[in-house]
Structure 1
Amino acid sequence: MKLGSLRLFLVLFVTVFIFSCDRQKVKESGETTTPDQQFDALKATLLEKLWRLNPEWATSVGYHKYDKELVIVTPQRIADEVKSYESMRRDLHQIKLTSLSQNNQTDYRMLDDFLDGRIWYLTVLKPVEWNPAEYNIGNGVAEILNGRHDSLTNRLRSISFKIEHVVPYYEAAKNNLKNPTQEHTQLAILQNKGALTVLNDLADSVKIARLKPFEKDFLNSRIATAKTEINSYLAYLQNEKLPAIRKGQGRSFRIGKELFTQKFKHDIQSGYTAEQVYQKALAHKAELHRQMLALTQKVWPTYFPDKPLVPGLAGVKQIMSKIAEKHVSRDSFLIAVKAQIPQLVDFVNKKKLLTQDPSKPLVVRATPEYMRGVAGASISAPGPYDKSANTYYNVTPLDDYTAAQAESYLREYNHYQLQILNIHEAIPGHYTQLVYANKAPSVVKAVLGSGAMIEGWAVYAERMMLEEGYGNNAPKMWLSWYKWNLRVTLNAILDYSVHVLNMSEKEALNLLINEGFQEETEAREKWRRATLSQVQLSSYFTGYTEIYDLREEMKKKQGKEFNLKQFHEQFLSFGNAPVGYIRTLMLAKSAVN
């Protein structure tokens, strides 16, 4: 053999030998070989990158590796973040979707949808330029301070590092804001004032913590600096931005048809378009009115035995006004919420509607000040990385309401409607659904949640509970639910009408009060919410419609084999995936069985 041929032979031999050894190592180490294994490894990588880019979101789902980080939103940071998401998307597209299992195909689509959405938010919607409420250290600090994942001492150390950079944080906020809306500026003022109360709580915690003296000095100094910066930001918004906005230098809170349509696509992930949901909501409103008119005829003699029935919606409004008279006092509202939770637990167990987990605590509390200004009630649930943490049911106190406003609010959340609210927010609504989501085998399905699925489940739970006999089929309870479901329906109509059709405040209040039978305080709060959010108000009706349709489809498909408890538990087992994706998975399982 010639020398050149010998060298070539040796090179080929060594190459083949190394390749064989590497392949044997892969086999012995169990490294990824199938598309699903490759994708599982990629999911872990993408999620890690995601948490590094979004440390506060990571904290909120119980992933505390980046608690010390505070994101300074500069133009360069935004550009880098977009590049990161684009790179993540390219990595995702290296895997062939159809080569994956059904469950992983759903995760793939959810990741793809999320990355597209994030890029769109950063490059098209750009809320950092017009929403001053995007900037608030209160929530991130409070999440760590109120956590249970580590000792108070270590949590305070993380917070100390986090707020070290509060000066450039708020400086960047001022530099980014180009044309804020008046409504979001006022929200930012309210919520950043709430952040000051968080810092006061933080200072109290420092006193009792086992920090070293120099650590306490550092942290107290940083707390003082943070208060100064928040007050500076508040002054900037109050003394510079609000006057400029009133002179016409801000932008409208309305985002218009094009942006609304795009945002609906990214946020809702429905089989329907925004306009189709709007049209379906209009039709559903008419159906609800028909149902309420029929029940009003039955209930009328109970309240007005000596008066003739007032025809049309005016008669319904009179009945709903009488039903609203039965409510708790303003001082016992929070107490009443707490008292109803065990009753709901008992009903769900008795009817065997789904399996509950008593080991997951639900804590009813007054809404923290830094979270106020958007919704009267909400759920703050732990993420899949911190499943044992408390779930908080936030109920906003009526302290700031006048007597008339409080009475209006309490009439809205009267004896019957308060029960429906608790079904929606707590059991078997948001609280129950989010406990199930944390048990989903896929972290992706838990953290990249579909708002329409989450809100839709809570709305579906209301109707399902009444269908199963909650409230003893009392006409008053059903009328109250029709009104409540009408609220969900009008949310979608209002959302589209305000941002796409330029509905005025006067027109909105007329819709909510005279066609939705809402109290004035509730209606005005909903108008405010419509000015502060876009698309989110459409999520309730969209998700509810899709879930209820899926249940009826499964009942028809399975016939006598259909089991409501099994349907609920199977549906919830897929985490927070969009309803359309869950439908595909459930139908696939049904076909196999």
Structure 2
Amino acid sequence: MPDFTPAEPETSDFPVIAERIVDALLESDPLIAATAGDHRFDDRLPDHSAGAVAARAAMVRDAADTLAGLNTDGLGPQDHVDHQMLSALVERELFELSDVREPEWNPLVHNPGPLLHSLLARPFAPVEERLVSLGGRLAAVPDALATARVVLHDMPRVHVETAVGQFAGVATLIRDQVPRLLDAAPELRSAVEPVSAAAQSALGDFCGWLRARLDTGDPGRDPRLGRPMWEARLWHTLDTELPAAEVLELAWREFDEAGARLRDCASELVGGPATDDTARAALDMLGREHPSDETIVDLARLSLRETTDFVRAHDLVSLIDDPCVIEEMPEFARGVAVAYCDPPGPLEKAEVPTFYCIAPTPDDWPAERAESFYREYNDHMVRNLTVHEAMPGHFLQLAHARRFRGGTRVRSLGWSGPFVEGWAVYAEDLMAEAGFGGLPIRLQQLKMRLRMSLNAIIDQLVHCEQMPEREAMALMTERGFQEAGEAAGKWRRALLTSTQLSTYFVGYTEVAAIAAARPFGATPRAWHDAMLSHGSPPPRHLRTLLGV
């Protein structure tokens, strides 16, 4: 185990201690390293065996104790924030390893797809170098899946169902993408092709093992965490002083206010009284203007150009000329969210793109379900989605964050979910208020505000109050105006995840309050740039750094 503590720790030792802890965290988990953009461990997969988990828990416990015993009185503002962020990070890691123990019941944790895809998709190094690392990861797949079979037990059925599709997608990724990379370096075929074949075989066997669990009809453990575990995880996720009860109260209040504004907007758009019927009529009208599986990616690309031009013309925030590639979501990542933003890590030195990925409808969906999906993700909603995922949302915010350089790498190691999601939701509001897309976009953005509030409400009620599916579906489709397909997907996401759905609402509440505290004389662009200039810290720390 690494030794983090100098003989006599002093305030001035914090940067040295922080760097030692960062290195230990990077080395202990290849997923953390890959997400951060550190390629030293690109030939490895995470080790979820009992011995490795115990060793990692001991390491982060030692790191937490070392940070807690450090004298922080003389730290400057940036180092003080880094100390608090690193302390929160290791405490959260320890909680996850010791209390939640997700690798023991969630098969999705064992998905090697993201780590394989990062080597296949991003040209951060010569193809030969990436193939050598890829060969190492492929060679590790059979053992990693064998470990998964040993440690996994009593898995929730919804997680197993999702995992079957994702792991089959990993096999497809290897089958389709590895040969293309080998075409550029045929001298490595003899080394890579055998481990590629072995990995595909192991994935097929693992999918069969998962399907056998489904065939038994056993529902497995309840995916709901229960209030004590969920509230503890919420505290670690949000890193805020808001208790769970207040989050729920504020979310209901925002839900009612956003609903009233949506009805007013619908009345302005189509005429008539500001009622639910008018709102449904307006949303139905917009829902008829929608893309298809064949056109949704192209629409997102067009939307990125539109949103970029609008941000530039209205001088909302400084643009950064980094590449953003919009593409169909890989199969190994589907089943949880409709879209995501996958940026290069803050430690990445090469000029590589951010991926903005959208999932089309599955091939086996009936036409009616696919039509419902695209009524929800209509032309106007896709434009609002692009604001959130790309411009000036995740893509632009994370591009700014990668340019932050502090005295340590702490802010390169992890980001605050509430800040990242909060900024993206705030970006939707910012663009709509500035007039982007007119009333149709404003209406869709208000519908997303309803969804944001419902995310937090359902997240808590499902995991803490055993909210049944029929009540959640009724709430989303009736008062939330969501299509049935979207509501069904959110129900699954609430079961598959916990506390992440609350980051949108809590993050937006805190980020919007910081934005509203813009000093007299500061332009919106200058203040937004200042908000984005400190990496992605929790909003409470950003307030300190900005003097709010």
Q: State the TM bucket, normalised to the shorter chain.
A: over 0.9
Aligned match of 2:547:
587
Extract structure 1 runs of 4+ deviating beyond 6 A: 31-34
Query: Which residue type is aligned with residue 522 of structure 2?
Result: F
Tell me by how many angstroms 1:296 deviates: 3.5
Listed one character per residue, the Cα deviations across residues 49-76 of structure 1 (whole Å, up to 9, x for unaligned) are: 1110011321232211111122332111
TM-score (norm 1): 0.87
Tell me by how many angstroms 1:291 deviates: 1.7
Pick aligned residue for 1:490 from 454, 459, 479: 454
Distance 2:8 2:320 in 1: 37
Aligned match of 2:385:
421
Structure 2 counterparts to residues 215-226 of structure 1, below 5 A: 215-226=188-199
Tell me by how many angstroms 1:312 deviates: 3.6
TM-score (norm 2): 0.94
Listed one character per residue, the Cα deviations across residues 73-124 of structure 1 (whole Å, up to 9, x for unaligned) are: 2111111010111122233234212221111111101110010111110110
Structure 2 counterparts to residues 158-177 of structure 1, below 5 A: 158-177=133-152
Tell me by how many angstroms 1:149 deviates: 2.2
Tell me by how many angstroms 1:339 deviates: 0.9
Listed one character per residue, the Cα deviations across residues 528-547 of structure 1 (whole Å, up to 9, x for unaligned) are: 11111101111001000011
Q: Is the 8 A contact 1:56 1:67 kept in 2?
A: no
Structure 2 counterparts to residues 26-175 of structure 1, below 5 A: 37-175=12-150
Q: Is the 8 A contact 2:267 2:273 kept in 1?
A: no
Aligned match of 1:193:
168
Identity %: 28
Larger mean CA deviation between 576-585 and 132-141 belongs to 132-141
Q: 1:391 to 1:36 in 2, by over 3 A?
A: farther
Q: Is the 8 A contact 2:120 2:178 kept in 1?
A: no
Distance 2:266 2:34 in 1: 49
Pick aligned residue for 1:238 from 211, 217, 221: 211
Aligned match of 1:204:
179
Aligned match of 1:288:
258
Structure 2 counterparts to residues 541-556 of structure 1, below 5 A: 541-552=505-516, 554-555=517-518
Distance 1:536 1:65 in 2: 29
Q: 1:500 to 1:75 in 2, by over 3 A?
A: same
- For the aligned residue pairs, the C-alpha RMSD in angstroms reads 2.1
Listed one character per residue, the Cα deviations across residues 292-327 of structure 1 (whole Å, up to 9, x for unaligned) are: 2333443343xxxxxxx5774233222222222222
Distance 2:328 2:93 in 1: 32
Distance 1:150 1:164 in 2: 20
Q: 1:148 to 1:206 in 2, by over 3 A?
A: closer
Distance 1:441 1:420 in 2: 31
Distance 1:520 1:389 in 2: 38
Distance 2:9 2:463 in 1: 47
Distance 1:258 1:125 in 2: 11
Q: 1:271 aligned to 2:241?
A: yes
Q: 1:256 aligned to 2:226?
A: yes
Q: Which secondary structure state, in structure 2, belongs to the residue aligned with residue 247 of structure 1?
A: coil
Q: Which secondary structure state, in structure 2, belongs to the residue aligned with residue 113 of structure 1?
A: helix
Structure 2 counterparts to residues 394-543 of structure 1, below 5 A: 394-400=357-363, 401-442=365-406, 443-471=409-437, 474-543=438-507
Aligned match of 2:200:
227
Tell me by how many angstroms 1:391 deviates: 0.2
Q: Is the 8 A contact 1:317 1:514 kept in 2?
A: no
Aligned match of 1:374:
336
Q: 1:410 to 1:224 in 2, by over 3 A?
A: same
Listed one character per residue, the Cα deviations across residues 453-500 of structure 1 (whole Å, up to 9, x for unaligned) are: 1000000001111222323xx433322221111111111111111111
Tell me by how many angstroms 1:586 deviates: 0.6
Q: Which secondary structure state, in structure 2, belongs to the residue aligned with residue 365 of structure 1?
A: strand
Distance 1:318 1:342 in 2: 30
Q: 1:321 aligned to 2:284?
A: yes
Aligned match of 1:306:
none
Distance 1:203 1:469 in 2: 45
Tell me by how many angstroms 1:196 deviates: 0.4
Listed one character per residue, the Cα deviations across residues 508-543 of structure 1 (whole Å, up to 9, x for unaligned) are: 111111111111111111111111110111100100
Q: Which secondary structure state, in structure 1, belongs to the residue aligned with residue 281 of structure 2?
A: helix
Runs (5+) with no aligned partner, structure 2: 1-5
Larger radius of gyration: 1
Query: Which residue type is aligned with residue 342 of structure 2?
Result: S
Q: 1:247 aligned to 2:218?
A: yes
Q: 1:184 to 1:80 in 2, by over 3 A?
A: same
Tell me by how many angstroms 1:285 deviates: 1.0
